Amino acid sequence: MSSFIGFSGLAIESGISMGQAVFMTLTIWALPAKVVLIGAISAGSSLAAAALAVALSSVRLMPMVVALLPELKGPRSRKITLLFLSHFVAVTAWVMAMEQLRHLPRDVRTSYFAGIGVTLVLTNACVVALIYLVSASFPPLVFAVLFMLTPMYFLTSLWRSSREQAGKAALLAGLVIFPIMHAIAPGYDLLLTGITGGLAAFAFHLYIENLRSKETMTTTQHEGQQS
């Protein structure tokens, strides 16, 4: 909610109307994609360019959807239901679902995630509308500080929800690589950081799995010799 207060400040400063900001929250939902859209609007980009920018920023959600669906799918889950629920996949809902779904019966998981997603979207749509109504009493510095909570929240949430060391390695790699990529290629820094950090984390994952395999083989051989 604090992040969406910051988003509201950005939207107000960019000349976005309250109706447009609320509509973005309901239809796009993921906060970074909305920020990208406002940036494209402020830069005077064409409709096609803005749509492409939002689509590219949302591609990062695809692996999250792929990871979530096997956990979410129940014995009677319909594809149309899963397609609808995929709209709510963003960091907050994804982290909460990945932590809690494993403890729930499969036949209630879609209902549980629908409750999380709908509540988050509607609550923050109301937050955006409320901030527009009281924006005159908020100094710009407050909006800026609250908006900066977004990346910190994302980092801490993803770190906590990482089930494997490779996920944490990817976060650390991104933090280290991004300043380098920003200095080398400012226009493509985020893309290059994701590719490089992801490959580094995947290599780390393969290394750890290789070590585990060797340890397992050594243990098995040792037990065989003892028997």
pLDDT exceeds cutoff 70 at 222: no
Report the number of secondary-structure helices (H) and strands (E) in the chain: 11, 0
Tokens describing residue 67: 């990871």
pLDDT at 115 (0 to 100): 93
Clarify whether residues 134 and 53 are in a common domain: yes
Q: How far apart are CA 168 and CA 197, in angstroms?
A: 11
Q: How far is CA 9 from CA 6, 29, 140, 147, in A?
A: 5, 16, 7, 8
Q: In whole numbers, what is the pLDDT of the chain averaged over residues?
A: 83
Clarify whether residues 213 and 107 are in a common domain: no
Q: How far apart are CA 98 and CA 116, in angstroms?
A: 12
pLDDT at 126 (0 to 100): 95
For range 122-146, the mean pLDDT = 83
For range 82-98, the mean pLDDT = 88
Give tens-digit pLDDT for 36-65.
Answer: 888 888 878 788 888 888 887 788 788 889
pLDDT at 223 (0 to 100): 64
Clarify whether residues 29 and 123 are in a common domain: yes
Clarify whether residues 195 and 146 are in a common domain: no
- Name which of 60, 68, 104 is nearest 197 in CA terms: 60
Amino acid in position 76: R
Clarify whether residues 107 and 138 are in a common domain: yes
pLDDT exceeds cutoff 80 at 210: yes
Clarify whether residues 42 and 89 are in a common domain: yes
Clarify whether residues 66 and 175 are in a common domain: no
pLDDT exceeds cutoff 80 at 122: yes
pLDDT exceeds cutoff 80 at 136: no
pLDDT at 137 (0 to 100): 72
Clarify whether residues 167 and 121 are in a common domain: no
Last residue of a domain, one of 161, 179, 212: 161
Clarify whether residues 133 and 221 are in a common domain: no
Last residue of a domain, one of 161, 184, 212: 161
For range 133-154, the mean pLDDT = 74
Of the listed ranges 20-24, 110-114, 136-140, 175-179, the least confidently predicted one is 136-140
pLDDT at 101 (0 to 100): 87
Please report the beta strands in the chain, taking only residues with DSSP state E, as ranges in sequence order: none
Neighbouring CB atoms inside 10 A of 158's CB total 17
pLDDT exceeds cutoff 90 at 6: no
Q: Give how far the C-alpha of residue 189 lies from the chain's centroid of Cα atoms, to the nearest Å.
A: 18
Last residue of a domain, one of 134, 161, 188: 161
Give tens-digit pLDDT for 14-40.
Answer: 888 999 999 999 998 888 788 888 888
For range 81-93, the mean pLDDT = 88
Clarify whether residues 93 and 186 are in a common domain: no
> 223 lies in which domain range?
163-227
pLDDT at 114 (0 to 100): 93
Query: What percent of the chain shows pLDDT beyond 70?
Result: 91
Clarify whether residues 183 and 130 are in a common domain: no
Clarify whether residues 124 and 155 are in a common domain: yes
pLDDT exceeds cutoff 80 at 130: yes
* The total number of structural domains that make up the chain: 2
pLDDT at 12 (0 to 100): 85
The whole model's pTM is what?
A: 0.66
Give tens-digit pLDDT for 148-188.
Answer: 776 777 677 667 666 677 778 888 888 888 888 888 887 77
